[in-house]
Amino acid sequence: MPIIEAQGLTKTYCSRSGQVHALTGLDLSVAQGTVTAILGPNGAGKTTAVKVLTTLTRPDSGSARIAGVDVLRDPHAARRQIGVSGQYAAVDENLTGYENLEMIGRLYHLGRAAARARARSLISLFDLDEAGNRPVKGFSGGMRRRIDLAGALVMQPRVIFLDEPTTGLDPRSRIALWDIVERLVAEGTTVLLTTQYLEEADQLADDIAVIDGGRVIASGTADTLKAQIGGHRIVITLVAEEDADAAVRALSSAGRGAVDRDGRTFSVAVDHGPSALQAALAALERDGIELHDAGIRRPTLDDVFLRLTGHQTGGVAGAADINRTNAATAGVERHSGFAGQHGDSAASADETKDDPNEVSQRHGLGPAQARRGNEEKVR
């Protein structure tokens, strides 16, 4: 039985500029002890989905269960199963990092000694030993983020929700967080995280739910999603920009579909990578074209997103960047509509209105559950 289940969730916000349909029939199913990534651009409904599942906001319709508990009928019991770290860190500015964590433990009746021990171990897990005794108001954004994430783990909840956990973290902290997530999952915790980073979903998640316009538009493993757009791409980078026409010719005849261009780099989808690359290289060789780089790559999740939605995510580098610039050469396709963001995000401007159903940010954590063994990941 899935540990997180959601069916037909809808949520419409009324803002000054009109109604915003944040969730439009979201279905989700997460197996215990796995990492699921909700991947979507700004305004897709990720935070709203997390808020509904963590009892912070009520949906207009639909249902959700966590570990068999009905989130809408019995929010208190649901809260005992979960930990949540919201998109914006919810920490007490005047307390030190260590005191913030100890306070959470005390609020949940851990007992002073246990709360202190837990705070100490999390401070060192999140590499905050030096800053842990300073008030949070002097913390950098990334440090706040880490303290907030540590707060979600104080009670060792069975299910953890992390809303864009690595946004604002430097690369080292991001990798450290990935390690922590992997360790938690190896111990049996279930993690649902949201991200705009395709690379992050690819790296961490057993399953990915791609959402757009408030509902899931595709789901599966990273590999399944990549397979949906099929095949490989061959990519070449020229030494000289003047050879662009020859490059487009060579790739057009070796591949299928339009050739994408980013500066001196060109790519095309192919049915069989090695033979297409050989054919393209032979054609370029005949024309005496000098290459800086050449290779085969599998489609990225960004390619998948583009295929599914007709627009890109504005996420990490990948195919997104290949399509972004210099598409002037004849025969080169430039995907229309790319603006690095989702159209819906314009609605975000006046969404400051508080949701009356919202309750406090941090809540309801239960005793550590029996941890299940390490499960082989499907990647």
Ligand X SMILES: Nc1ncnc2c1ncn2[C@@H]1O[C@H](COP(=O)(O)OP(=O)(O)OP(=O)(O)O)[C@@H](O)[C@H]1O
Minimum CB distance to ligand X smaller for 10 or for 87: 87
Nearest to 44 by CA among 278, 209, 205: 209
Q: How far apart are the C-alpha atoms of 318 and 308, rounded to whole Å? A: 16
Minimum CB distance to Mg ion smaller for 114 or for 349: 349
Per CB under 6 A, the list member of 344, 362, 363, 365 interacting with ligand X is 344
According to DSSP, the β-strands at 215-220 and 256-262 are unpaired
Q: Phi and psi at residue 13, in whole multiples of 5°?
A: -95, 140
Among ligand X, Mg ion, none, what does residue 42 contact (CB within 5–8 Å per kind)? ligand X
User: 183 CB contacts (<8 Å, ≥6 apart)?
Assistant: none
Token pair 């912070």: residue:
56
- Radius of gyration of the chain from its Cα atoms, rounded to whole angstroms: 23
CB of 82 to ligand X, least distance (A): 18
Among Mg ion, ligand X, none, what does residue 347 contact (CB within 5–8 Å per kind)? ligand X
Among Mg ion, ligand X, none, what does residue 348 contact (CB within 5–8 Å per kind)? ligand X
Among Mg ion, ligand X, none, what does residue 355 contact (CB within 5–8 Å per kind)? ligand X
Minimum CB distance to ligand X smaller for 317 or for 349: 349
The answer to the question of residue 348 lying near ligand X (CB under 6 A) is yes
Structure tokens at 223: 């590999």
CB of 66 to ligand X, least distance (A): 19
CB of 347 to Mg ion, least distance (A): 13
The answer to the question of residue 196 lying near ligand X (CB under 6 A) is yes
Q: How far apart are the C-alpha atoms of 82 and 74, rounded to whole Å? A: 13
| Long-range contacts of 356-360, Cβ-Cβ distance < 8 Å, separation of 24 or more | 357/56, 357/57, 357/58, 358/51, 358/56, 358/57, 359/55, 359/56
Angle, helices 171-186 vs 141-153, to 10°: value is: 10
Residues 41-60 that bind ligand X (CB under 6 A): 42-48
Among Mg ion, ligand X, none, what does residue 167 contact (CB within 5–8 Å per kind)? none
Could you tell me which residues are beta bridge partners of residue 260? 267
Residues 241-300 that bind ligand X (CB under 6 A): none
Work out the burial of residue 306: count CB atoms within 10 Å of its CB; fewer than 13 is exposed, 13-18 middle, 19 or more buried: buried
Minimum CB distance to ligand X smaller for 48 or for 252: 48
Minimum CB distance to ligand X smaller for 22 or for 35: 22
Interface pattern 82-101 for ligand X (x via CB under 6 A): -----x--------------
Residues 167/86, Cβ–Cβ less than 8 Å: no
Per CB under 6 A, the list member of 76, 112, 353, 372 interacting with ligand X is 353
Per CB under 6 A, the list member of 6, 9, 40, 100 interacting with ligand X is 40
The answer to the question of residue 316 lying near ligand X (CB under 6 A) is no
The answer to the question of residue 34 lying near ligand X (CB under 6 A) is no
End-to-end CA distance of the chain: 21
CB of 77 to ligand X, least distance (A): 25
Among Mg ion, ligand X, none, what does residue 65 contact (CB within 5–8 Å per kind)? none
Residues 303/235, Cβ–Cβ less than 8 Å: no
The amino acid that residue 147 corresponds to is I
Minimum CB distance to Mg ion smaller for 47 or for 173: 47
Work out whether the CA dihedral 145, 200, 44, 33 comes out positive or negative.
negative
Per CB under 6 A, the list member of 182, 199, 355, 375 interacting with ligand X is 355
CB of 361 to ligand X, least distance (A): 14
Among ligand X, Mg ion, none, what does residue 4 contact (CB within 5–8 Å per kind)? none
Q: How far apart are the C-alpha atoms of 150 and 96, rounded to whole Å? A: 13
* Residues near ligand X, by CB under 6 A: 13, 15, 20, 22, 40, 42-48, 87, 196, 344, 347-348, 351, 353, 355
